[in-house]
Amino acid sequence: MFPSIRTLLRKGSGSRRRAVVLTWPVLALLLVLPLWWGTLGLPGEVPAGEEGETELDRLRRETRTLRLETELASRVGPYLVADLQEKTLSLKLEGVILREFPVLDMFVRTRRSAGRPGGWPLPMDTIWSGGRLLPEVQRRREVIYSDSVTPPDPSGTVATIPPTPEEAVPTPPSFRVRFLEKRSLAVTTRPRALPEEGEDGGGPSPWSRMTHWVRGKPWRRDLVRLDVTMAEEEAGALYRALPPGIPMLVVGPGPKTGPGAPGA
Amino acid sequence: MAPGYVPALTGALALCAFLGWTMLRGQDRTGTLHESPSVASRPAEPGGSPVATPDSGEVARELATLRKEQRALRGSLQSLAPRGPYVVVDRGNNRIYLRKGDSILLEAPASTGSGTELIETVGEKRRWIFDTPGGRFKVLAERPDPIWTKPDWAFLESGEPIPTKLSERKEYGSLGEYALDLGDGYMIHGTLYERLLGRSVTHGCVRVGREALREIARRTGPGSQVFIY
């Protein structure tokens, strides 16, 4: 179908030959590029089948989760609990729920290896440690020197009103919490007013997917990533609430853990 | 470009587009997680017995042990949870919640620490950072119609001389109808400046609007838990 290089070189003039020599490597590169992206760049879904799970397996998993949560609850400072089965994200402190963030969608993915899920250690029922917010929240600390303060103006001049949290720290369209061992929680916002995108109504359009993927290029370094889609308000609240170094417990499929869970 | 190259280039581009589309389509799916060889080949967790051919007596014993451990762990987690209503303060978003178990009884705007640093340039050269501390606290006392005894920083901050008489430090009404004392000078209290609620303006205390404060004071008391994050 396509003319071979030899045929083209035999038939063509000088400029044509040069064009051939340049075109074929470019075409080859164009062919190889998507394959390279496909094998190295994209995370694959992490499997976590509940089917075939025995009672013993389930109890082991639940017990391990409870052990980990007990360990987190004994630490100082808040922690996140992401439940893949319930698709919930909670902020807790010492075992107590501080806030639950409604999640529109939640996926766990691993980096692909030769086009297939990489067989990286499963992220469920483990503690992801040392969470670092990206982009970082910038908070400027104002310094007042006592000798530079002037007494209040008797005329009643109104002091400057500081910004609201939303004004001071606007919600980025997407952000992530990068944990140790190349794990990330990636949060994408979706305005509450907008209907769900995509032909099946259940996910973003291919174009959004493409732009999101391009924007998230640095994430390719992650081995495991928890992708979460949230309403803009909720994502903003999470973004402003997370302290540096926060750990996260990722709970795999199965009944919800913690006090009051089924089977408690 | 010679016409001979057009089909070659078009074909290559079409292939690239197809591969790219396949790749993206494969990336995002319904969220249902699937079984794969990587899971099946996952080694059993340390200490766990193999599931393939377990001895029924052994399995029964392990099941009983696991159930017992689960009960203990759940009990341990439950013991951490407050029995009555508890207060949660979100510093990053300047919100206050009154919760009981999994339910939210009240949500309202609040004001928390401004984060400002005050440096005394003369005299003792002290410094203060106006942050609201985070962690788990207990209401030590609940005081109706609290009187604020203004500390030194309140005078330094407004450029006024520090008074020598205690009576000159007393301020009435500025803390609202109630003050829930959390210790170390930190309180949850009312405010005269409700228009500033939802903004980081305080010296470390948590300011709440009148109605929300009444509700919190009604449902909590000394010993109630307060979580600040």
**Residue pLDDT, tens place only, B29-59:** 323 332 232 333 333 344 444 444 557 888 8
How many Cα atoms within 13 Å fall on the side-chain side of residue B6?
Answer: 4
Give A155 to chain B, closest Cα distance, Å.
15
Q: Chain A to chain B, count of Cβ pairs less than 8 Å apart? A: 240
**Greater confidence, A2 or A105?**
A105
Q: What are phi and psi of B182, to 5 degrees?
A: -105, 0
Cα separation, B79 vs B75, whole angstroms:
6
Report ipTM for this prediction.
0.74
Mean pLDDT of A230-252: 93
Q: Hey, are the CB atoms on B34 and A146 less than 8 Å from each other?
A: no
pLDDT range class, residue B118, cuts 50, 70, 90: very high
Look at residue A27 in the predicted model and tell me its pLDDT: 77
Q: Which of A144, A209, A217 to mutate to test binding with chain B, by most B CBs within 10 Å of its CB?
A: A144
A40: nearest CA partner in chain B: B23
Instruction: State how beta strands A88-93 and A79-83 pair.
Output: antiparallel
Q: Which has more confidence, B106 or A156?
A: B106
Per-residue pLDDT averaged across B71-99, rounded?
95
pLDDT of residue A244: 92
Mean pLDDT of B4-21: 70
For residue B6, pLDDT beyond 80: no
Query: A55–B63: do the CB atoms touch at under 8 Å?
Result: yes
Q: What is the mean pLDDT of residues B6-35?
A: 56
Residues of A in contact with B39 (CB under 8 A): 47-49, 122
Nearest alpha-carbon partner for B62 in B78, B49, B43: B49
The pLDDT, as a whole number, for residue A259 is 36
Range name among A56-60, B24-28, B57-61, B204-208 with the lowest pLDDT average: B24-28
Q: How many CB atoms lie within 10 A of CB B227?
A: 24
At B135, phi and psi to the nearest 5? 130, -160
On the question of pLDDT at A261 being above 50, the answer is no
Q: Which of A104-113, A255-264, B140-149, B197-206 has the lowest mean pLDDT?
A: A255-264
Instruction: Identify the pLDDT of residue A211.
Output: 64
Question: Per-residue pLDDT for A28 more than 60?
Answer: yes
Q: Do A161 and B67 touch (CB under 8 A)?
A: no
- For residues B59 and B65, give the distance between their C-alpha atoms in angstroms, rounded to a whole number: 10
pLDDT of residue A190: 83
pTM exceeds cut of 0.80:
no
Of B4, B12, B115, the CB nearest to A30: B12
Rounded to the nearest integer, the mean pLDDT of chain A is: 75
Q: Does the pLDDT value for residue B220 go beyond 60? A: yes
Cα angle: A79, vertex A224, A175; to 5 degrees: 60
What is chain A's length? Answer: 264
Q: What is the mean pLDDT of chain B?
A: 84
Note the Cα A114 to chain centre separation in Å: 22
pLDDT bucket at A114, cuts 50 / 70 / 90: low
Residue B119 tokens, joined:
């440096």
Judging contacts by C-beta atoms under 8 Å, the chain B residues touching residue A122 are 38-39, 42
User: How far apart are alpha carbons A114 and A22 in whole angstroms?
Assistant: 29
Structure tokens at A3: 């003319």
Q: Which residues of A touch B207 (CB under 8 A)?
A: none
Residue A157: pLDDT above 60? no
- Shortest CA gap B66–chain A (Å): 6
pLDDT of A148 reads: 84
Note whether A19 contacts B: Cβ–Cβ < 8 A: yes
CA-to-CA separations, B8 to A86, A148, B18, in angstroms, rounded: 50, 75, 15
Please give the Cα distance from A220 to A238 (Å, whole number).
Answer: 23
Contacts of A8 in chain B (CB under 8 A): 4
Question: pLDDT by residue (tens digit) across B148-182?
Answer: 999 999 999 988 899 999 999 999 999 999 999 99
B70/A63 CB distance under 8 A:
yes
Q: Do B39 and A23 touch (CB under 8 A)?
A: no
